[in-house]
Amino acid sequence: MKPRLLLVEDDPISCSFMAAALEALPAQVDTADSIRAALAWEGTQDLWLLDANLPDGQGTELLAELRVRHPTTPALAHTADDSQALQAQLLQAGFAEVLVKPLSAARLQEVVRRWLGMASDAPPRIGETSSPFTALPLWDEAAALAALNGSQEHVATLRRMFLDELMRQHDAIIDALDKGDPGPAKQILHQLKASSGFVGASRLNAAAKNLEDALSEPSVAMNFTAIVHDTLASG
């Protein structure tokens, strides 16, 4: 029988990518975009994959609720925040491992297979680029195909979803910064880092990280806006 997994992810592009990768294991994947939706699932899952930040709370809160029902189910956290402090906090809360997004389908499958005790036939991991973001291409086709197991159809579908949402996300970020309210901007940038990585929007991914680290710098926000427009025009 296929293992049954619970995937909790509030960004639709990231959720679609991760669910497709997990279903290819093969596995049955229950998806949810909030703590409330996750707790609505009935029955037993073999593994939980929980986003560290959700619209109605934290992944650690959801894990605590799920543990009341099923004390021994292994749980993995996933997040676009690569800080060591957060990873330590998640591990201390009871997560078995922390996955940092964006990640390839091969990497996701590798970790899930390991925790489920499944045989692994995943290809080798692909290293992340360390080039300055200004030198990165707008679109990295090789990275997008690697993330989606070589499926050009999946790349095209997710990229179209990504571009349809991009301007709305940009406007919400800039509006929040103009109002001096960095909270919403950080939340959207957190999602954008993951989704841009999955579809191979390399330069935008780096620009989003740069803006997240310098929210109060007008020049960084202007550069981010320029790259958003370049990405939309090229897509």
**Tens digits of per-residue pLDDT, 168-211?**
999 999 999 999 999 999 999 999 999 998 899 999 999 999 99
Residue-wise pLDDT tens digits, 148-172: 778 888 889 999 999 999 999 999 9
Q: Could you please report the per-residue DSSP string of 138-163?
A: S--HHHHHHHTTT-HHHHHHHHHHHH
List all residues 6 or more positions away from 224 whose beta carbon is below 8 Å from its beta carbon: 170, 173, 207, 208, 210, 211
List all residues 6 or more positions away from 233 whose beta carbon is below 8 Å from its beta carbon: none
What distance in Å separates the CA atoms of residue 221 and residue 32, rounded to the nearest whole number? Answer: 32
Question: Is the pLDDT confidence value at 1 over 60?
Answer: yes
**How high is the mean pLDDT of the chain?**
88
And the tokens for 189? 């940038």
**C-alpha R_g of the chain:** 18
Please name which of 50, 62, 139 lies closest in space to residue 99, comparing C-alpha atoms.
Answer: 50
Domain boundaries, the chain: 4-116, 133-234
List all residues 6 or more positions away from 4 whose beta carbon is below 8 Å from its beta carbon: 27, 28, 29, 30, 43, 44, 45, 46
CATH code for the domain defined by 4-116? 3.40.50.2300
37-41, 132-136, 142-146: which is most confident: 37-41
| C-beta separation of 126 from 105 below 8 A | no
Q: What is the pLDDT of residue 149?
A: 78
* Residue count of the chain: 235
Model confidence at 55, pLDDT cuts 50, 70, 90, reads very high
Residue-wise pLDDT tens digits, 86-141: 999 999 999 999 999 888 888 899 999 999 987 554 333 323 323 345 578 889 99
47-61, 69-83, 188-202, 212-226 — which is least confidently predicted?
212-226
Question: Is the pLDDT confidence value at 78 over 70?
Answer: yes
| Average pLDDT of the residues in 50-63 | 97
Q: What is the pLDDT of residue 21?
A: 87
CATH code for the domain defined by 133-234? 1.20.120
What distance in Å separates the CA atoms of residue 26 and residue 118, rounded to the nearest whole number? Answer: 10
Q: What is the pTM of this model?
A: 0.70
Q: What is the pLDDT of residue 6?
A: 98
